[in-house]
Amino acid sequence: MARVALQITAVRDGQLLLDLPWSLPLEEWPESLIVALPRGISRHTVRFVRIAGVVYAVKEVTQHYAEREYRLLRDLQRLDVPSVEPVAVVNGRTDPDGEELLSCLVTRHLQFSLPYRAVFSQTLRPDTANRLLDALTALFVRLHLVGLYWGDCSLSNTLFRRDAGAFAAYLVDAETGDLHDSLSDGQRAMDIEGARINIIGELMDLQAGGLLDEDVDPIHTGNAIQRRYERLWGELTGEQEIDFDERYLINKRVERLNDLGFDVGELQIVTDYDGATVHIQPKVVDAGHHSRRLLRLTGLDVEENQARRLLNDLDQYRVETDRQNEDEEIVAHEWLLEVFEPVVHGIPRQLRGKLEPAEVFHEVLEHRWFLSERARQDVGLDAALESYVRDILPKKRDELAVLPEEDMSALLVANDDDSYDDDAYDDESDDAEDATP
């Protein structure tokens, strides 16, 4: 039988992958190639490598599942669903003796992202678990809206990025996923039940390892995913009946969905036979309301909550400069040059790997509020930035940097920066029963 040659199917960067040692199992790849980044729990061997300044995740899996997940991730990219970016599938691998090796799926590493185990430590307050579940719920709903049955929803199969005090969730493992035109209620219920069981197990694992605050009940917290999901799904897709004379509530419904970060592309509006009541139901709902608006105005591509916070500051800038009646895009450009960019450029180069620029800007605004409350007067953005760079940012974990292997444990133990995030500026109520994604 003829030996199969190495085959690389790639969206891009395929030629950069040729120099990797595909004739060796991933477990035997030399340390000189490996990048030390926090990894979630996986049933497969996964390695991070850096090529031409870009970090890639390489997962060893059977050819069928590698090709299937590659195609599905490409579909999710086209649907604008938060997920890791597929780069290539590598088939036809053999070792020097001609023995076949597993295929590999290559994805681009998501910068500033962390697996859930790296987010938890004993210093974090219990509401961190709720914030992760809020992010996971929002991702879960977005996947179901586009017709994806995940099949293995869990914290382990998700990456999290900070998003203006909250988290944004990204799908990282889609090998069990299946894309449909739409999902039945039964399919969604099965997916939710699987997620509930997985999350309880993962939280119990953290508890056994001493990484979960003693006030967090794994079963109660895991069960909350179903309530959160049903609440958000009902808000996005549920039918609402209103009196004909209360048609203004239609706009209220749209505004409420916008506040949740979703655009309503189409509404179905039906009156009953006597015209006394109106039934409304969203038909086309797209996520990213605030991030799309900010991108259009400024070119900044950020997470949804970050976009909401930046837009609020932009609106405040318009009021403070008495520019409410001027063209929004012109004012946004000036805000970008006069407010946002000076803050970002004010971060010393050696500290720029700590957090994303939009997250830094959000935290500087929070720090300004904190200092102003203490001083009982507005301290100004410049003073807040100076104080933040001096006192706060150096204590943050470096979420962009590649870590030496001996420092990996630092991501799984107590860290002063998270107590600052959760204690100093937390104005939310994250009760597991009442929190809304």
pLDDT of res. 65: 92
Residue showing tokens 């799309």: 292
Phi and psi angles of residue 3, each rounded to the nearest 5 degrees, phi first: -75, 130
Residue 81, classed as helix, strand or coil, is coil
pLDDT tens across 69-93, in order?
Answer: 999 999 999 988 899 999 999 999 9
Per cent of the chain over pLDDT 70 is 83
What is the distance, to the nearest Å, from the Cα of residue 434 to the centroid of all Cα atoms in its chain? Answer: 22
pLDDT at 148: 94
Spatial separation of the C-alpha atoms in residues 255 and 259, rounded to whole Å? 6
Indicate left, alpha or beta for 108 from its phi (over 0: left) and psi (-120 to 50: alpha). beta
Residue 412 has pLDDT above 60, yes or no: no
* Assigned fold of 7-108: Phosphorylase Kinase; domain 1 (3.30.200)
> Could you write out the DSSP letters of every residue in 265-324?
EEEEEEE-TTSSEEEEEEEEEEE-HHHHHHHHHH-----HHHHHHHHHHHHHHHHHTT-T
Give Cβ neighbours of residue 17 (< 8 Å, ≥ 6 apart). Answer: 8, 10, 51, 56, 87, 88, 90, 106
Give dist(CA 293, CA 308) in Å, integer. Answer: 9
Residues in the chain: 437
Instruction: Please tell me the least confidently modeled range out of 64-78, 256-270, 332-346.
Output: 256-270
Domain limits of the chain? 7-108, 113-237, 240-287, 325-396
Lowest mean pLDDT among 69-73, 232-236, 290-294, 407-411: 407-411
Pairing of β 85-91 and β 7-10:
antiparallel
Could you give the CA distance from residue 112 to residue 45 in angstroms, rounded to a whole number? Answer: 22
Beta bridge partners of 241: 279
Under the banding of pLDDT at 50, 70 and 90, the label for residue 324 is confident
Q: In this structure, are residues 101 and 25 in contact, taking their beta carbons and an 8 Å threshold?
A: yes
Please tell me the CATH superfamily of domain 113-237, with its number: Transferase(Phosphotransferase) domain 1 (1.10.510.10)
Per-residue pLDDT band for 40 (boundaries 50, 70, 90) equals: low
CB 261 within 8 A of CB 288: yes
Compute the average pLDDT of residues 166-186.
90
What is the separation of C-alpha 26 from the centre of its chain, rounded to a whole number of angstroms?
Answer: 27
* Cβ-defined contacts of 198-201 (< 8 Å, 24+): 198/152, 198/153, 198/154, 198/155, 198/156, 199/133, 199/136, 199/154, 199/155, 199/225
Distance CA 122, CA 214 (A): 8
